[in-house]
Homo-oligomer: A and B are copies of this chain.
Amino acid sequence: MAAFGHTRWAIAEGYIPPDSTGPGPQMTSHETVCILNAGDEDAQVVLTLYFADREPAGPYRLTVPARRTLHQRFNDLTDPEPVPRDTDYACVIDSDRRVVVQHSRLDSRQAENALLTTIAFAG
Q: What residues make up the interface of A, taking CB atoms closer than 8 Å to B?
A: 1, 4-5, 8, 10-15, 21-22, 26-27, 32, 34-36, 38, 48, 50-53, 55-56, 67-71, 88-90, 92, 100-123
Q: List 30 A-B contacts (CB under 8 A).
A: A4-B8, A4-B123, A5-B10, A10-B100, A11-B36, A12-B34, A12-B36, A12-B69, A12-B102, A12-B119, A15-B71, A27-B110, A36-B50, A50-B67, A50-B69, A51-B68, A52-B69, A53-B68, A55-B67, A69-B90, A71-B88, A100-B121, A100-B123, A105-B117, A107-B115, A112-B112, A112-B114, A113-B114, A115-B115, A118-B119
| A108 contacts across to B, CB distance below 8 A | 110
- Please classify the interface of chain A as helix (H, G, I), strand (E, B), loop, or mixed, using the class held by over half of its residues: strand
Q: How far is the CA of A5 from the CA of B51 in the complex (A)?
A: 17
CB distance from A114 to the nearest CB of B (A): 4
